[in-house]
Amino acid sequence: MTEKKEKTPLFHVVKRSNIPLWQSILIRLGFVVGAVLVGMLVLLITRGINPFEALYEMFRGSFASPNRFFNFLKDGALLLIVGLALVPSFKMKFWNLGGNGQILMGALVTVMCMYYLGNILPAGYDWLIIICMFISAVLAGAIWALIPALFKAFFNTNESLFTLMMNYIAVGLVSAFITVVSSGGGSHFIDPDMICAHGRIPQLFGKEATLIVIASLIILAFMIYYLRFSKHGYELSVVGESENTARYVGINVKKVIIRTILLSGAICGIAGFLISGAITYSVTETSAANMGFTAIIAVWLAKFNPFITAATSFFVVFVTTGMGQVQLAFSDVLKNNASGDIVMGLIYFFIIGCEFFIEYKIIWNKKSKNPLENVISEPTEAPALEAPEPQAEAPAKEEK
């Protein structure tokens, strides 16, 4: 036997048919822990930071004091709202990368209401301003999402690139507004006390976090109902799974796309309303704090499940605030907050990569050790062509 082509690949990859849930969760958790450890290791090697101290500071970031904990709740709940906004669009396989822009537009019109209506209306009409703020923020977010959705529905325009561009257009509009209201002196910022004195959303129980958390819980409950129990939710998951099936059962795909994205944008608008109306009383080009992107990863990690999105959102915020605290604690060696992005990026990479081990199985190819298996030696003469004859006569094997 000439074995010149013996170069069996070490392994080959096949799709897994099934994996127990606990196993997949365990794999994911393992990778998250691994990512954090690698991040700590990076800090140890490059900056000589003791990993245990860093981990301790990381927890302190969110839990050291009641104030920090409330901040953690506030940020987590905000990210959750944005995440919930994106869940339906991603479930429909509509790549809405425009969360930032939709939040920003919500925030922009909120501040515009506070500024312009605050000037017109006499004192004591804050409630009216707040209602206007809410309505216009919802509309602004929805419209900002609607534009790409319309083109996606009617011309199949690539939505991920379109929504991406809409982010920057929103930034430009915010920038222009700031220039308009802060004109004079060349300053380029919004003074909350000058511009946004009226129409501030009151704090509940003396904390910013309360209102945001309540809002996020309401939206969470709504989203669970919408996706799991409503006809709309069912339709959008059919569209996401297979547009052909949707057509087949008579779902109006265009309508579903537009309706879902309107909802998505509207909730992003609410996030903007809360940021500007209840927290910052101002708007800047970075008011969205990149949550539109962060939330994508949070919902993706949650496999588009609203419940799990709550967990992943708070986890993401926990890591980012934690890394902020690490930076503060080691400010002599860490000049900026970039280490947070690095650890976050590592976690993303690890989790993204670990999906492979959940979806696919690696089969290691054993090399045959038994030489007898390679029976054919020398180029063989085949048996005469007539040879198969008797077999042909034999009845085919019956199998039951």
Partner 1 sequence: MKKETQKQISIRFENVSKFFGPVKANENISFDIYQGEILSLLGENGSGKTTLMNMLSGIYFPDEGKIYINGEHVTIASPKDAFDLKIGMVHQHFKLIDVFTCLENIVLGIEDKEKANKSKARKIVKEICDKYGFEINLNKKVYDLSVSEKQTLEIIKVLYREANILILDEPTAVLTPVEIKRLFAVLNNMRKDGKTIIIITHKLNEVMEISDRVAILRKGQYIDTVLTSKTNESQLTEMMVGKKTVLNIDRSEPKDVEDRLIVNGLTYVNGEGIKVLDDVNFTAKSGEILGIAGIAGSGQRELLEAIAGLNPKAKGDIVFFRPKKNLPVSFYHKTYREVVKLASEGKFHYDNGSPVSFEGMRPFQIKSLVNNGDVLFNENEVMNLREKSPLQIRELGVRLSFVPEDRLGMGLVGNMDLIDNMMLRSYRKGKGTLLNRKNPENLAGAIVNELEVVTPNLHTPVRKLSGGNVQKVLVGREIASAPKVLMAAYPVRGLDINSSYLIYNLLDKQKREGTAVIFVGEDLDVLLALCDRILVMCEGQVSGIVDARTTTKEEVGLLMTSKKEAEGGK
Partner 2 sequence: MVAFNDILINIIQGAIPLAIIFLFGCVGEILTEKSGNLNLGLPGVMCFGAVGGVLGCVLYMKTIYQLWPIDVSEPVITFVTVLSYICLLLFAIIFACVFGAISGLIFSFLTTTLKANQNITGLALTTFGGGFADFVVPLITPKEEEKALLAKAAKILKFSLPYDRTAVGIWGDSFLNQSILVVIGFAIAIVAFVIINKTRVGLSLRSVGENPATADAAGINTNAYRYGATLIGCAIAGLGGLFYVVKINGWENSATLQGFGWMVLALVIFAVWNPLIAIVGSLVFGALWVSPQSGISTNTAAGKDLLKITPYVVTVVVLVITSIVGKKSVLPPGSLGINYFREER
Which phi and psi (to 5°) does residue 388 adopt?
-65, -10
Restricting to residues 200-239, which ones interact with partner 1 according to CB under 8 A?
229-235, 237-238
- 332 is a site residue for partner 1 (CB under 8 A): no
CA–CA separation, 276 and 325 (whole Å): 25
- Pick the closest to residue 58 from 324, 332, 348, 338 (CA basis): 324
* Contact residue for partner 1 among 121, 197, 251, 297 (CB under 8 A): 251
Least Cβ distance, residue 335 to partner 2 (angstroms) = 5
- Cα separation, 252 vs 94, whole angstroms: 16
Picked from partner 2, partner 1, none, the partner binding residue 342 (CB below 5 to 8 A depending on kind) is: partner 2
Residue 385 touches which of partner 1, partner 2, none (Cβ within 5-8 Å per kind): partner 1
Of 104 and 213, the one with the shorter C-beta distance to partner 2 is 104
Q: Which of 301, 351, 327 is nearest to 79 (CA)?
A: 301
Record the tokens describing residue 186, joined without a space. Answer: 């060349």
Closest CA to 57 of 351, 343, 346: 343
CA 149 to chain centre: 19
Does residue 45 touch partner 1 according to CB under 8 A?
Answer: no
By CB under 8 A, residue 162 contacts partner 2? yes
Q: Which stretch binds partner 1 (CB under 8 A): 77-85, 152-160, 243-251, 342-350?
A: 243-251
Residue among 335 and 367 whose Cβ is closer to partner 1: 367
> Of the candidates 286, 289, 287, 285, which has an alpha carbon nearest to the alpha carbon of residue 277?
287
- If one asks whether residue 183 binds partner 2 (CB under 8 A), the answer comes out as yes
Per CB under 8 A, the segment of 73-81, 187-195, 263-271, 372-380 that binds partner 1 is 372-380
Evaluate the CA torsion angle 261, 267, 272, 277 in order and state its sign.
positive
125 binds, among partner 2, partner 1, none (CB under 5 to 8 A by kind): none
Interaction of residue 267 with partner 2, rule CB under 8 A: no
Q: Is residue 23 within the footprint of partner 1 (CB under 8 A)?
A: no
The option from partner 2, partner 1, none interacting with 332 (CB < 5 to 8 A, set by class) reads: none
Q: 96: Cβ–Cβ under 8 A, 6 or more apart, which residues? A: 86, 89, 90, 145, 159, 163, 261, 264, 296
User: In Å, what is the CA distance from 182 to each residue of 178, 189, 272, 380?
Assistant: 6, 6, 21, 91
Q: Is 30 in the site for partner 2 (CB under 8 A)?
A: no
Question: Which among 267, 178, 252 has a CA at the least distance from the CA of 219?
Answer: 267
Q: Which of 345, 362, 365, 388 binds partner 2 (CB under 8 A)?
A: 345
**Nearest CA-CA partner of 274 in 69, 77, 126, 71:** 77
Segment interacting with partner 2, rule: CB under 8 A, options 106-114, 154-162, 202-210, 213-221 = 154-162
Task: Look at residue 67 and give the partner it binds from partner 1, partner 2, none, a contact being a CB closer than 5 to 8 Å depending on partner kind.
Answer: none
Helix (H) / strand (E) containing 248: helix 243-248
Q: Near partner 2 by CB under 8 A, which window of 135-143, 211-219, 231-239, 296-304?
A: 296-304
Handedness of CA 358, 341, 266, 168 (dihedral sign): negative
Strand intervals (E) in 6-147: 11-15
Binding flag, residue 161, partner 2 (CB under 8 A): yes
Q: Which residue has the tokens 């003469």?
A: 381
**Cα separation, 60 vs 318, whole angstroms:** 10
Q: Least Å distance between CB 394 and partner 1?
A: 7
Whichever of 15 and 369 has its CB closer to partner 1, that residue is: 15
214 scored as a contact of partner 2 (CB under 8 A): no
Q: Is 391 in the site for partner 1 (CB under 8 A)?
A: yes
Question: How many residues contact partner 2, by CB under 8 A?
Answer: 52
Residues in the site for partner 2, rule: CB under 8 A?
13-15, 46, 95, 97, 151, 155-158, 160-162, 164-169, 171-173, 175-177, 179-180, 183, 293, 296-297, 300, 335-342, 344-346, 348-349, 352-353, 355-356, 359-360
